[in-house]
Amino acid sequence: MHARAAASFVKVAQQFDSKIYIERDGQTVDGNSILDILTLACPYGGKLTITAEGTDAAVAIKELEKLIENKFGEE
């Protein structure tokens, strides 16, 4: 994931009280940290697993799914 996409992800993730995590190849990082996300070095088309814990976790996941489905608003 490149920097612009990671920044968009963090912007959405920070709107929620829930803790958001991204996992790739066994490495899990904080979904509210652009630097953590960039350390995953996920290539285009790579697979990530997003999880959330907290009172608004379900809504957070839905909003992040929308962001990804819309290709981070870059197309």
**Alpha-carbon distances, residue 33 vs 40, 44, 75 (angstroms):** 11, 19, 24
Cβ(47)–Cβ(41) below 8 Å: no
Q: Is 2 a catalytic residue?
A: yes
Rounded to whole angstroms, the Cα distance separating 54 from 25 reads 24
Of 1, 2, 45, 59, the active-site residue reads 2
Q: Which residues are catalytic?
A: 2
